[in-house]
Every structure is written in structure tokens, then in C-alpha cells.
Structure 1
């Protein structure tokens, strides 16, 4: 049953990642990867929130498989983040490449921590 939950969550997360990335990139019209940044920050928040929920009594195996591993794993993307950072660097937009790394890492950590704090406030 666990692999099925991971697959279902991953499918939903991947579809949402694709749709979000396309919409944000079309809206921003910029070579900077705002779409990938958006899904990575959102996924970090969701994972932080789910982690806090799990720490305070959620059904660990099913929630972890469906949401934390499946959905967040499908929604977020380290490989695309890496590819887009290298692409920015090679296109001589090195400031954008550096900003992509710094903003993604700092905002992802802050977003995950915020999700964890919010879940702790709600479920503790």
C-alpha cells in the first residue's frame, strides 16, 4: 500500500509542479526560474508543516508516504534547480545564477521552518 500512496502523491505533486512552473514563468516573462523557485519554496513549507504534524501525532506511515515523500517529492525539484542555475551561469547571467542559489536555499530553509513552526502551533 505504501508504494501506491507514494505514487499517487508523486503524480499529483509532479502535475502541480509542471502547471505552477508554466504559469509563473509565463506571468513573470523572465529568464530567472521563478517557477522552480516557487514550487521549491512551497514544497519546503508543506514538508515543514507535515513534519510538524507528524511530530505531534499524525498517522505517520500513510501521511509520510502520500504527502511528505510522494507529493513533496513530486512537487519540488533539485535537478531542475541545478540545471537552471548552470544554464543561467552559461548564459552569462551569473548574478541571476548566484541569486538563484542564495534565494532558493535561504527561502527554502525559512519556508520549511515556518511550516514546522505553524504545525507546532496548531498541533502541539
Structure 2
């Protein structure tokens, strides 16, 4: 009687690509969350949550850099899920941005609006700079 493969491809081999990728994303996410916490503790607490803005802008720059580099010169298969989705996904935080804005700036609508606009524009601009720089670095890197 022939052996029958399990119906779920991820159950065929404990080291399947799906399981491996999930483990890499989880490990990267844990590291990114720890880095975000360290950054939050290192930056002073102010009425305007600049530490959250700084983390989100920096993370956008780094993700742009990674994606830009990988569009020109693909890297190992583990790099984007581990660093992009995992580390940088764990490092950046839209939910904290939303909660910080709601909690700290409820009576200051103009300040809250400016904070939101500056954070979003800063993050998008940083991602664009990162993409351009990553593409440039990818073209100049070793073959």
C-alpha cells in the first residue's frame, strides 16, 4: 500500500518553507518589538509622542532601503520575511501611533492633526528615500 502524503503541505516536513518562514517572521518580530521598546525607553517622554514618530519614520526608511535593494539585487529568501516583515514590522507600530495620538492629544486638535500629518508625511518620505537609496546601493554592490 503506497504511503499517502498529508493533505496539509506544511505537515509534510517540519522544516517546510511555510513553517520556516513563519518561524523567521516570529523571531524577527520579537526582535523588532524589543528594539521598539528600547527606543521608547531611550527617548524622553513628552506631551507629543515623538518617540513613536521617530520609530515609525526610521522603520519606514529601513524598510524602503531593504525593499529598494532587493528590487535591484535579490537576496536570500529568508531576508525579506525575517527583516522586512519580522524585525521592521515588529519595530514600527501604527497602533501605538493611533493610541498615543488619541490619549495624549485629545484636547489639542491642531497639535494632534500636525503630529499625524508630520508622522505620515515623514514616514512616506523616509520610505521613498530608502527605496531610492536601496536601489542605488543595489546597483553599486558587488556582483
- Normalising by structure 1, we get a TM-score of 0.90
Aligned residues: 120
SS at match of 2:46: coil
Instruction: List structure 1 segments (4+ residues) > 3 angstroms apart after TM superposition.
Output: none
Structure number with the higher helix fraction is 1
Alpha-carbon distance between aligned partners in 2 of 1:88 and 1:102, rounded to the nearest angstrom: 16
| Contiguous gaps of at least 5 residues in structure 1 | none
Residues 45-65 of structure 1: CA deviation (Å, up to 9, x unaligned): 011011111101222631111
Q: Secondary structure at the residue paired with 1:32?
A: coil
- The root-mean-square deviation of aligned C-alpha atoms, in Å, is 1.3
- Measured in 1, the distance between the counterparts of 2:33 and 2:136 equals 29
CA distance in 2 between partners of 1:52 and 1:89 (Å): 35
Aligned to 1:80: 96
* Superposition TM-score, scaled by structure 2 size: 0.79
Q: Deviations over 1:24-82 (max 9, x none)?
A: 1x2xx421101100110010001101111110122263111111100111000000111
